[in-house]
Amino acid sequence: MAFGPETTADEIVEGVDLTEKTFVVTGSSAGLGAETVRVLAKAGATVVMVARNGEKNAKVADAIRADIPAAKLSAVSMDLANLDSVRRAAAEILAAHPRIDALINNAGFVGGPRILTPEGAELHFAANHLGPFLFTNLLLPALKAAAPSRVVILSSNGHRMGGFDFDDLDFSIRPYNHWMAYSQSKMANVLHAVGLAKRLAGSGVTVNAVHPGVIRTEVFRDVTADEAMMVTGWAESNGSPLKSPAQGAATQVWAAASSELNGVTGLYLEDCRIADAVPATTISAVGVIPEALDPDAADRLWKISEKIVGETFPA
């Protein structure tokens, strides 16, 4: 079956048996994360649901169980902007699941004023990149134990907006703009995938970044309705039509579970395919900018990220 932008996550797993697989999904309490959990559970997988709001996460789990009585779900609370919370969640998951077949770093947000974490990181960079960076590295022993296994890192076509500045990641020099901060964090997501794929070469663990498409989910909860309409309208007029949550979850489920991607690593995926490289100077809502796949930039970001989280991770 040929997959594309209109493919749904249900179609990705049609006829696929995941009963022996364990998946960890962040941002599972709403939107694409909830849909991803539902689809994986429907295919028989054991799914660890990770979200900041435990009450919302539990309600989603209950709704999935009502629809799929045999669903094998567990819930873990984690605040990606709080590194201590990330460490506690990773330790809890490792204790219960020594083997993890796929980690889907789905959680993310955009909006709000400039806020710095206790580590001095800007909040978008912290929650959208540093938290997943630390969480992924801490779960690597279980991912390696289950190899061949996969890491999926949600990025966005927002990485194309530009503004990534190694010398001003916290916006202490530039005027702050939450869309620029979001773009910077989404560029970091792709570079994270590139850097991690390099370090995991030969381990059996593959890593890819994913643009799910443009979907009006809770990711827009901290921006105005006019802003959300402007962003989705621009994307639709430049090659990326609005998707349903079922369609939006498809590429990350494809990245995590499809045999088509066996051995594929270090790339940026969209619309259930490997994205084309499209220069940043091109006005487009599709494609990955070549700068996001630069291994030298990925290594530089890796070292900065290790310094901020206070841990080094072996190559």
Q: With bands split at pLDDT 50, 70 and 90, how would you rate the model's confidence at 221?
A: low
Residue owning tokens 């689809």: 39
pLDDT at 235: 72
Q: Are 150 and 206 in contact (CB under 8 A)?
A: yes
* Sheet strands side by side (includes 102-105): 72-77, 46-51, 22-26, 102-105, 149-154, 205-211, 267-270, 273-274
Give the position of tokens 């006005």.
Answer: 283
**Peptide bond connecting 245 to the previous residue in cis, omega within 30 degrees of 0:** no
Q: How confident is the model at residue 220 (pLDDT cuts 50, 70, 90)?
A: low
Q: Is 182 a catalytic residue?
A: yes
* Catalytic position from the list 23, 125, 182, 254: 182
Interval 271-300 mean pLDDT: 95
What confidence score (pLDDT) does residue 250 get?
A: 98
* Range 260-282 average pLDDT: 96
- In this structure, the number of other CB atoms found within 10 A of the CB of residue 303 comes to 11
- The predicted-structure confidence for 204-219, as pLDDT tens digits, reads as follows 999 999 999 988 665 5
288 vs 189: CA distance, rounded Å: 12
- What average pLDDT does the segment 6-23 reach? 97
Which pLDDT score, from 0 to 100, does residue 224 have? 72
Average pLDDT score over residue span 234-255: 87
Separation between Cα atoms, residue 305 and residue 299, nearest integer Å: 10
> Is the pLDDT assigned to residue 315 strictly greater than 60?
no
Alpha-carbon separation of residue 50 from 37, 40, 42, 63, 130 (angstroms)? 10, 14, 18, 16, 16
Instruction: Kindly report each contact of residues 175-181 with a partner whose C-beta sits within 8 Å and lies 24 or more positions away, as own/partner.
Output: 176/113, 176/114, 178/110, 178/111, 178/112, 178/113, 178/124, 178/222, 178/223, 179/110, 179/227, 179/231, 181/114, 181/122, 181/123, 181/124, 181/125
Tell whether the model's pLDDT for residue 234 goes beyond 80. Answer: no
Q: For residue 222, what pLDDT band results from cuts at 50, 70 and 90?
A: low
Q: What does the block give as tokens for 295? A: 């291994």
Q: How far apart are CA 154 and CA 200, in angstroms?
A: 18
Let me know: does 88 contact 76? Beta carbons within 8 Å.
no
CB 257 within 8 A of CB 16: yes
Task: List, in order of start, the domains of the chain with CATH numbers.
Answer: 9-309 (3.40.50.720)
Q: Is the pLDDT of residue 91 over 60?
A: yes
Q: What pLDDT does 241 receive?
A: 76
| Mean pLDDT, the chain, integer | 94
For 259, residues 6+ apart whose C-beta sits below 8 A from its C-beta are none
For β-strands 267-270 and 205-211, DSSP reports them as parallel
